[in-house]
Amino acid sequence: MGAWKWYFGNVLEGEAPECRHDKCKMIFTSGGKYYKYWRCGKCGKKHSVFKNTSLENSKIPLRKFLMIVLYYYIGISAAHICELLGISENTIHYWTSVIRVRCTSIWNKNQAVIGGPGRIVEIDEAVWRRRKYGRGKKKRQIWIFGAVERKPEGGAGKNFVMIVPNMKAETLVPTMRDKILPGTRIMSDEWKAYARLKDYGYAHDTVCHKREFKNKITHACTNTVEGLWMNLRKFFPRTGCREKYLGDYLSMWLVRRNLQIQFEELIKEIVFDLTEKENELDESESEESDSTESELESDI
C-alpha cells in the first residue's frame, strides 16, 4: 500500500477526476493488491487509475514499476534490474526505452544556452563507432559535438552534447551560435571548422594537441570537455546500443547531469506524457542485447 499512497499523494496529488455522468468527484478505491480504480459515489461508474496513461495496458505492479524507474535513472543496468526485481528482460528493456524517450522530452523542454561574457566554454568533437587502427567491420561514423562551461571555482558546469551530420563549419557554427552566448571565451583544438569563431562575437583560444595538452601562452586546454567524453562513455551499456537509440541515451545522460529533476516529476512525465514515439516501442525489443558493439571515441 506504501507505493499506492505515495503515487496518490505525489503523482496524482490527491486530485480525483470528475465523473462524466454526474459531474461529481470520483473516489480512489481499492480493487485488490495490485489494482486501484476511480469510482463514482452516485452512479457507480468506475475506471482504472491508469486509464489514458502509459501504464494502462501494463500488468506490472506499481511498486515494481517505480523501482524500475528509480534503479535505471540512478545508473543501475537493465540486466541487474532484471535480477533484483525478477522481471523479464523484454519488460525491463521496454520500460527503460520509455524512460529514455521521456528524458528526451524533458531535455528538449528544459535545455538552456551556456556561456556568456566572462565565461569559458570548452568545445570538442567525438565520433561514434570508429574502427581502432582501421581494423574490423566498417561502420557508418556518427559525429557528436559537445561543449562544457567551466565553473568559476573550477570543474565542469552546464554542458550539452548533440548528434551532428558532419563537422563542417556550416554545421557547427550555427549550432554554437544557437547554444553558446556571444562574448564567451571558447577553447578548442585546431579543427578548421572553428577558425572563424571570432567573427561571430566569441573570444577563441586554441591548443595544438600534436604538441601539447595546454597552450603555454593562452593557457587554453580542453581537459574539461575530454572528461565529459570519459563520463559519457561510462554511461553507455558495455554491449553498446543501436544507432536509432543513440539520441535518447544522450538525452538521458544530459538530464541526469544538468537538471535537478525530482523523482515524482520524472514519474509524471513517464506516466502522463503519451507520445507517438512510445507507441512505436515494441516490448519484444532488446536493444541492449544487440550484438553490434558501439563505442564513443574522442577524435584527437
Which residue segment(s) compose the domain that 36 sits in? 1-49
Domain stops at, among 187, 210, 229? 229
How far apart CA 107 and CA 258 sit, in angstroms, is 9
Whichever domain contains 123, its CATH number is: 3.30.420
Specify if 150 maps to a domain: yes
Does a structural domain hold residue 248? Answer: no
pTM > 0.85: yes or no: no
pLDDT band at 32 (very low <50, low <70, confident <90, very high): low
Q: Identify whether 148 is part of a domain.
A: yes
pLDDT-derived band at 10, boundaries 50, 70, 90:
confident
d(CA 120, CA 170): 23
Segment 42-59, tens digit of pLDDT:
777 777 788 778 888 888
What digits encode the pLDDT tens for the residues 75-100? 898 889 999 999 999 999 999 999 99
User: Does residue 39 contact residue 26 with C-beta atoms inside 8 Å?
Assistant: yes
- How far apart are the two ends of the chain, measured CA to CA in Å? 54
Which residue would you say has higher pLDDT here, 213 or 14? 213
User: Is 298 a residue whose pLDDT tops 60?
Assistant: no
Kindly state whether residues 31 and 123 are assigned to the same domain: no
CB atoms within 10 A of CB 6: 16
If one compares 115 and 55, the residue with the highest pLDDT of the two is 115
**Could you tell me if 37 and 142 lie in one domain?**
no
- Domain count of the fold of the chain: 2
Q: Is residue 217 part of a domain?
A: yes
* pLDDT for 177 beyond 70: yes
Mean pLDDT, all residues of the chain: 82
Domain boundary (178, 199, 229) is at 229
Instruction: Classify the C-alpha dihedral 196-199-201-207 as positive or negative.
Output: positive
Same domain, 45 and 122: no
Residue where a domain stops, chosen among 204, 229, 254 = 229
The answer to whether residue 236 is domain-embedded is no
With respect to residue 291, please indicate whether it lies within any of the assigned structural domains: no
pLDDT of residue 98: 92
HEC per residue, the chain: CHHHHHHHHHHCCCCCCECCCCCCECEEEECCCCCEEEECCCCCCEEECCCCCCCCCCCCCHHHHHHHHHHHHCCCCHHHHHHHHCCCHHHHHHHHHHHHHHHHHHHHHHCCCEECCCCEEEEEEEEECCCHHHCCCCCCCEEEEEEEEECCCCCEEEEEEEEECCCCHHHHHHHHHHHEECCCEEEECCCHHHCCHHHHCCEEEECCCCCCCECCCCCCECHHHHHHHHHHHHHCCCCCCCHHHHHHHHHHHHHHHHCCCCHHHHHHHHHHCCCHHHHCCCCCCCHHHCCCCCCEEECC
Give pLDDT, residue 176.
94
The segment with the largest mean pLDDT, out of 10-24, 237-251, 256-270, is: 256-270
Cell digits for 34? 495490485
Query: Residue 246: pLDDT above 80?
Result: yes
Average pLDDT over residues 265-290: 61
| Domain shared by 25 and 118, yes or no | no
Do 200 and 118 belong together in one domain? yes
pLDDT category of residue 33 using cuts at 50, 70 and 90: low
Residue 294 has pLDDT above 50, yes or no: no
pLDDT of 283 higher than 60 = no
In a domain, 76, yes or no: no
pLDDT (average), residues 144-162? 90
- Is residue 158 one of the residues assigned to a domain? yes
Residue 171: pLDDT band by 50, 70, 90 thresholds? Answer: very high
